[in-house]
Amino acid sequence: MKKRSKEEKREEKEEKKGRKIPLRNYTKGGRKSSVIAGVNILLFILAVVISILKKGNAGIYVGLLMLLVMVSAIAGFVIGINSFKEENKFLKYTYIGTITNAVIWIFILGMYLAYV
């Protein structure tokens, strides 16, 4: 096994630096989508708690709250999908926000279709 000189090691490091893609930040749309998903989860829990406290007679207020959650979940999903277009960024929050908003939207739609 050959030992490399310090010069060869330095050149190899510089070569690797030139090949790296600068992933500096997370996507802006992904962060927005994740925040929207978090707010949607909190509003969904609030609607369930109100419905439980009113013993199922919460009326139109819970319905409007769930409609708001559904519309904002669709908006968060669209923002998340559009944030995949941002280049050289981390996509962690993009995946989290997009998938969470899609699950929320499908769950609310499923509840609506099950009880109609």
Answer yes or no: is 19 within a domain.
Answer: no
Cα dihedral 43, 45, 48, 53 in deg (nearest 10):
-100
pLDDT given for residue 90 in this prediction: 80
Answer yes or no: is 79 within a domain.
Answer: yes
Structural domains of the chain, count: 1
Q: Are 95 and 34 in contact (CB under 8 A)?
A: no
Q: What is the CA radius of gyration of the chain?
A: 23
- Which parts of the chain sit beneath pLDDT 50? none
Contacts of 28 (CB under 8 A, 6+ apart): 83, 86
Boundaries of domain holding 75: 26-115
pLDDT given for residue 30 in this prediction: 85
Answer yes or no: is 53 within a domain.
Answer: yes
Report the C-alpha gap between 36 and 98 in whole angstroms.
10
pLDDT given for residue 42 in this prediction: 96
